[in-house]
Amino acid sequence: MIDKQHLINRFVSYVTVDTESDPNSDATPSTKKQWDLANKLVEELKEIGMQDVSIDENAYIMATLPSNIDKEVPTIGFISHFDTSPDFTGANVKPQIVENYDGKDIILNKEQDIILSPSYFEDLLLYKGQTLITTDGTTLLGADDKAGIAEIISAMEYLISHPEIKHGKIRVGFTPDEEIGRGAHKFDVEKFGADWAYTMDGSRVGELEYENFNAAGAVVTLKGKIVHPGYAKGKMINSQFFASEYMNLLPNNETPEKTEGREGFYHLYSIQGKVEETKLQYIIRDHDREKFEARKKFMKQQVDSLNKKHGREVASIEIKDQYFNMREKVEPVMHIVDIAEEAMKRIGITPLIKPIRGGTDGSQLSYMGLPCPNIFAGGHNFHGRYEYVPVESMQKAIEVIVNIAELTTER
């Protein structure tokens, strides 16, 4: 399989390029710096021998590995995103290589006393004896999803150098702005031309996912009146108190930190407020479509309840759907999940088939006509300073891609 050091070098060359996306920008990509890695990837795809390499005006990258067999088989695709989350800085990433991990605490940053510890992150113990790539404690790493990109390009490079492995036509796609929910918005499914695809955007080895949350964003706006505090009696109306009231109307046991599996939640992720106006930004999530619709309805009802209590409109709400559960689109073509499952079993991986407590480009692409389950990329603790990826997990992901390509010709 792909040389370990070669893979490390490739991955490090990606994560040291800042590609943080920006939810407040209307451009695509949302930040100009995403072009830096996008253009690098285009050149690298050409260098390894991929065909039909293209990048459009929005930085969507596509490339082809032509079929090397003389019979018709489905065209499959592999997709990853090159932006990183705006939740935590991705600038000046300084990866650290931990060889032969001993199962003990990893000092990420001695000066700031930042430690990656298996006493808190138990999954670390799964990787004793392996090579880990971590942060230096001051940035995220970017394994989400530059690990996926490294795996896809490495798998294509391997197939090109091993023509004895038979495969049909394979399409590769890399997208901007997935972390802000727009990765598939301008993806040209017809141009991509695959019968189905896989996003390489999961976490630990074995993850195979074809269910995800139904998702919406909500902004609750509370209105007040500003008056000089010295003359405020009977005049000032503080919108922040209305915000507190509204927050307490939602169930406090249905939040991300108190739910798991297929359980949905309301997540308050931002509060911006002054006396005159306060905005509460929520995300709404549920795997079950009926429960998802009920959650949106419930939030609207609480706005009505607050307005009724105060006898006038002190609150308003705007809700926008973001994506839906891909299960509805994947179940009719479950053979594409079966192929990925068999590809893992062939190399001794136990598939971990479970719902995603989130979303991927694949959830939107599935509704755009490209069924697209999600496969592990190997990283852990995404979007923060404790992010890490075992190199051996990335190698396993490469093997899975190669096996999927081979199995598709046998079906």
CATH number of 357's domain: 3.40.630.10
Are 67 and 182 in a shared domain? yes
Are 106 and 85 in a shared domain? yes
Check residue 356 and give its pLDDT. Answer: 87
Is 56 a known active-site residue? no
Give the pTM. Answer: 0.89
Check residue 411 and give its pLDDT. Answer: 77
Query: Is 196 within 8 Å of 333 (Cβ atoms)?
Result: yes
List phi, psi (to 5°) of 77: -135, 160
CB atoms within 10 A of CB 205: 23
Are 126 and 251 in a shared domain? no
Q: SS3 of 355, please?
A: coil
Domain end marker among 323, 339, 371: 323
Which residues of the chain fall below pLDDT 50?
none
Whether a cis peptide bond, with omega within 30° of 0, leads into 145 is: yes
Catalytic residue among 20, 22, 44, 178: 178
What is the C-alpha to C-alpha distance for residues 133 and 259, in angstroms, rounded to an integer?
29
Are 136 and 120 in a shared domain? yes
Are 181 and 130 in a shared domain? yes
Buried b (16+ CB within 10 A) or exposed e, 21-38: bbeeeeebbbbebbeebb
CB atoms within 10 A of CB 163: 9
> Structure tokens of 155?
């798998």
Separation in Å, CA 99 to CA 8, 12, 108, 134, 389 = 12, 15, 14, 11, 12
Are 99 and 122 in a shared domain? yes
Separation in Å, CA 375 to CA 131, 207, 227, 267, 358 = 21, 6, 56, 26, 14
Query: Is 30 within 8 Å of 176 (Cβ atoms)?
Result: yes
Domain end marker among 288, 323, 358: 323
> Which of these, 133, 144, 174, 142, lies nearest to 156 by C-alpha position?
174
Are 294 and 359 in a shared domain? no
Catalytic residue among 20, 22, 83, 341: 83
DSSP string, 31-80: STTHHHHHHHHHHHHHHHT-EEEEE-TT--EEEEE---SSS----EEEEE
Are 295 and 206 in a shared domain? no
Are 30 and 12 in a shared domain? yes
The CA angle 85-151-33, to the nearest 5 degrees, is 35
> Which of these, 195, 150, 218, lies nearest to 4 by C-alpha position?
150
Are 354 and 318 in a shared domain? no
Are 339 and 356 in a shared domain? yes
CATH number of 267's domain: 3.30.70.360
Is 123 a known active-site residue? no
CA atoms within 13 A on the CB side of 21: 25
Domain end marker among 323, 358, 390: 323
Find the domain containing 151 and state its range. Answer: 4-212+325-410
Are 170 and 155 in a shared domain? yes
Looking at the 3D structure of the chain, how many domains does it have? Answer: 2
Check residue 163 and give its pLDDT. Answer: 96
